[in-house]
Amino acid sequence: MKKDQSSGAWSWWCRLLAIGGISLLILAWGISALGRAYSLKNPQEFIMMFFSSSFMILLGIAGLIYPACRIHAYLKDDPLEHLPEE
């Protein structure tokens, strides 16, 4: 990833931290909903809660992977930048 001027700016870092924080909340909410799903007696309600909580967990994990990959790409040293041009 080429480091452009918007990468590394305060707004860029704040946006990634906000996405990560919201994703952590969604992940925690999904895990707690999954735990509550197992206490339900009605099988239809269990299926509904199980799949909705699984979707929330999936969104939370994807939301955590996005900032991690963006930060990793920003910090990764590009080996082609240091080669002399021929």
- Please report which helix (H) or strand (E) contains residue 37, including its range: helix 10-37
Whether this prediction's pTM lies above 0.85 is answered by no
In-domain check, residue 38? yes
- Would 86 be classed as within a structural domain? no
3-state secondary structure of 7: coil
Whether residue 18 is contained in a domain is answered as no
Q: Is residue 72 part of a domain?
A: yes
pLDDT, tens digit, for every residue of 62-86?
A: 999 999 998 888 888 665 554 456 5
Instruction: Report whether 27 contacts 57 (CB < 8 A).
Output: yes
Domains contained in the chain, number: 1
CA distance 33 to 42: 15
Q: What was the pLDDT predicted at 6?
A: 64
Please give the pLDDT value at position 75: 83
In a domain, 81, yes or no: no
User: From CA 44, how far away is CA 39, in angstroms rounded?
Assistant: 13
